[in-house]
């Protein structure tokens, strides 16, 4: 696939920054890097030879989404790859999580991604080509304590993306889910909010929540390596692009473990499941 124009959300830090840095150095493509504050994108200036566009974007604001898509089309005439990277984390037990903070996370992780994709799809349908890269997480396949609502946002991204992939298949539009485990980004640090349990019944989780800031940027995953993999998959493997791509050993192990155990359970319950059907006579 000749990837002329890449549009990436959330490029001030983390995966978005690594991917934007990589793409900015590719002379054969255009890069549209977005962030809520474009002064955080100065790191791209050294690579800009007229092929980089930096735009202000808060994915929770639909008017800004529409304006960004219009500006990209006006300047470059196409959107060939959309990378929905903007996202937040939240640590807290299900019972004690802050309702407003969780709602905002859903607005960013789910509705921001959905609105961004819906705004770009008319361009890709007209082109009869395009790749939509949605950042999910291993937490979109495998649930963990203190991440129930974050899990919920990523399970939603998985479901939306899987259905979308079937709807746009005949239009030559691809969907790729990125499912990272722990990477050296700001996700576990300043890009996530934390509510430490106060109930004695949940104190076994308090220490792990408190430690997240300290362990940030010490994870096994390398975001620069992830950026290289994503670029290679979209550019060189477009015709056989997988729907799901776990990144990191932990992500791969957890995905295999989840589906292996689920398959065993489904087979064990097969007779009970089938017995729920009663065909009409």
Q: Catalytic: which of 150, 202, 231, 238? A: 150
The Cα 85–Cα 10 span in angstroms is 6
Structure-token pair, residue 128: 């009869």
Q: Catalytic: which of 136, 137, 161, 181? A: 136
The Cα 145–Cα 94 span in angstroms is 9
Which residue, 228, 236, 251, is CA-closest to 18?
228
- DSSP state for residue 175 in the 8-state scheme: E
State residue 174 phi and psi, 5-degree precision.
Answer: -105, 150
Q: Show Cβ contacts of residue 190 under 8 Å, excluding neighbours closer than 6 positions.
A: 216
Residue 80 and residue 131 in contact, taking contact as beta carbons nearer than 8 Å: yes
Q: Catalytic: which of 18, 154, 192, 231? A: 154
Assess whether 210 carries a catalytic annotation: no
Cα–Cα separations (whole angstroms), residue 136 to 1, 151, 158, 175, 244 = 23, 10, 7, 12, 9
Which residue, 71, 67, 87, 91, is CA-closest to 79?
71
Pairing between β-strand 192-194 and β-strand 30-35 as defined by DSSP bridges: unpaired
Assess whether 136 carries a catalytic annotation: yes
Q: Show Cβ contacts of residue 108 under 8 Å, excluding neighbours closer than 6 positions.
A: 59, 60, 86, 87, 88
Assess whether 150 carries a catalytic annotation: yes
Place of tokens 């900015």: 24
3-state secondary structure at position 131: strand
Known catalytic residues are 136, 150, 154
């Amino acid at each position: 696939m000749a990837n002329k124009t890449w549009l990436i959300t959330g490029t001030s830090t983390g995966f978005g920054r690594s991917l934007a840095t990589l793409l900015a150095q590719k002379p054969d493509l255009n890069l549209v890097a977005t962030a809520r504050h474009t002064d955080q994108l100065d790191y791209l200036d050294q690579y800009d030879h007229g092929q980089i566009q930096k735009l202000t974007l808060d994915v929770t604001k639909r008017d800004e989404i529409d304006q960004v898509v219009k500006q990209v089309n006006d300047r470059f005439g196409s959107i060939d790859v959309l990378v929905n990277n903007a996202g937040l984390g939240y640590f807290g037990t299900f019972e004690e999580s802050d309702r407003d903070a969780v709602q905002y996370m859903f607005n960013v992780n789910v509705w921001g991604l959905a609105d961004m994709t819906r705004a770009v799809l008319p361009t890709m349908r007209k082109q009869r080509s395009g790749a939509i890269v949605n950042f999910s997480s291993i937490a979109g396949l495998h649930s963990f304590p203190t991440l129930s609502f974050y899990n919920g946002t990523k399970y939603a991204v998985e479901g939306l993306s899987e259905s979308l992939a079937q709807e746009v298949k005949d239009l030559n539009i691809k969907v790729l889910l990125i499912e990272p485990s722990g990477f050296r980004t700001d996700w576990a640090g300043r890009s996530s909010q934390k509510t430490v349990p106060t109930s004695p019944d949940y104190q076994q989780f308090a220490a792990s929540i408190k430690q997240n800031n300290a362990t940030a940027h010490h994870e096994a995953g390398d975001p620069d390596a992830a950026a290289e993999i994503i670029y290679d998959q979209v550019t060189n493997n477009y015709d056989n692009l997988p729907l799901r791509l776990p990144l990191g050993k932990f992500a791969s192990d957890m995905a295999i473990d989840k589906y292996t155990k689920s398959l065993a359970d489904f087979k064990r319950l097969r007779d009970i499941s089938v017995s729920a059907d009663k065909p009409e006579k």
